[in-house]
Every structure is written in structure tokens, then in C-alpha cells.
């Protein structure tokens, strides 16, 4: 089946639209942050230390995937021509990912390592800050995703 220019253009238009990436990123993050992380601590055979160690590894992998998703989103937003229109959503999203990458995840990972080593660290607001930023990030992804969806064409 030969591929014509019109079908290639239609495919490119769909791929270049950032909405799909926003929804994939949302699903990935929500699945881990809102489902996997809390449920893991309810498993009766997993100790707190094991749950913390697994969480540290899973959130590190999630963060790496989110950095890649952010880079890809920035590229898609730029090539789709909506960068100026949506910079007030994209900039906070980028700042959240950066804050989680360079500040919160390293701090939470260190706290997990201390608990695994038998040291109970003092109080910290890092976990609460991470949770608030995670909810803000999920909200921004939904806003951007729905706003970038193509508008239905009138018949």
C-alpha cells in the first residue's frame, strides 16, 4: 500500500501534537505516585526497609523517564508552534521536574538510605513538598494535554 503525502502529513500532525505525550506521562506518573507507592506499603510480607528501597529505585527510574518526557515535550511544543501560547504551563512543569530531580529525590533517597541503615532521620518537609509538586505536575499535564487536543471538525 503506497503512502501518499497527505497521509504522512496527517500522521506528522498527530505525532507532533503534545497531547499524546502529556497523557502518557500523566498515566505513567499517576500509576506510580498515586497507586504503586501507597499500595506497596500495605503488602503484609514487605518490610518498611524493603518498601523504601524499592520505592527509591522506582522513583529514580520514573524521574529519568520524566526528564526524557520533558525534553520530548519541549521539542513537540516547539515544533507544534504553541510554545508562546503555553509557556505559562510548560515553565512550571519544567521547574517541578528540575526541583524533583536535583533537590527532592536526592533528599528523599538519602532519608530512605538512613532508615534502611537503622537510623531514624529527623522531621523533613521534603516528602510533603514532593507530593504537592507531584499533584501540581499531574494537573499541568492534564491541562496541557486537553488543551492541545485537536478540536472536532464540523461536518
**Per-residue pLDDT tens digits for 34-47:** 999 999 989 999 99
Cβ-contact 133, 96 below 8 angstroms: yes
More confident residue, 5 or 11: 5
Q: How far apart are CA 89 and CA 128, in angstroms?
A: 22
Per-residue model confidence (pLDDT) at position 90: 95
Q: What is the pLDDT of residue 101?
A: 98
How does pLDDT run across 75-125, given as a tens digit for each residue? 999 888 888 888 999 999 999 999 999 999 999 999 999 999 999 999 999
- ∠ at Cα 86 (144, 70), nearest 5°? 65
The Cα–Cα gap between 2 and 23 comes to: 31
Phi, psi of 52 (to 5 degrees): -65, -40
DSSP letter string, the chain: -PPPHHHHHHHHHHHH-THHHHHHHHHHHHIIIIIIHHHHTT-TT--HHHHHHHHHHHHHHHHHHHHHHHHHHHHHHHHHT-HHHHHHHHHHHHHHHHHIIIIIHHHHHHHHHHHHTT------SHHHHHHHHHHHHHHHHHHHHHHHSPPPPP-
Distance in angstroms (rounded) separating the CA atoms of residues 66 and 72: 10
Q: What is the pLDDT of residue 2?
A: 66
At residue 7, the pLDDT reads 78
What mean pLDDT comes out for the span 68-75?
96
- Place 1 in a pLDDT band, splitting at 50, 70 and 90: low
**Least confident span in 8-12, 25-29, 80-84:** 8-12
Amino acid at each position: 500500500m503506497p503512502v501518499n503525502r497527505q497521509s504522512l502529513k496527517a500522521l506528522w500532525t498527530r505525532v507532533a501534537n503534545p497531547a499524546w505525550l502529556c497523557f502518557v506521562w500523566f498515566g505513567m506518573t499517576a500509576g506510580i505516585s498515586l497507586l504503586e507507592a501507597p499500595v506497596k506499603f500495605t503488602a503484609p510480607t514487605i518490610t518498611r526497609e524493603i518498601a523504601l528501597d524499592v520505592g527509591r529505585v522506582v522513583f529514580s527510574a520514573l524521574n529519568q523517564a520524566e526528564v526524557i518526557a520533558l525534553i520530548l515535550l519541549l521539542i513537540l511544543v516547539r515544533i507544534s508552534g504553541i510554545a508562546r501560547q503555553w509557556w505559562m504551563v510548560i515553565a512550571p512543569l519544567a521547574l517541578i521536574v528540575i526541583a524533583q530531580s536535583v533537590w527532592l529525590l536526592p533528599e528523599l533517597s538519602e532519608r530512605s538510605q538512613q532508615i534502611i541503615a537503622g537510623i531514624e532521620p529527623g522531621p523533613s518537609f521534603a516528602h510533603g513538598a514532593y507530593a504537592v509538586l507531584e499533584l501540581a505536575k499531574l494537573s499541568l499535564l492534564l491541562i496541557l494535554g486537553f488543551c492541545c487536543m485537536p478540536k472536532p471538525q464540523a461536518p
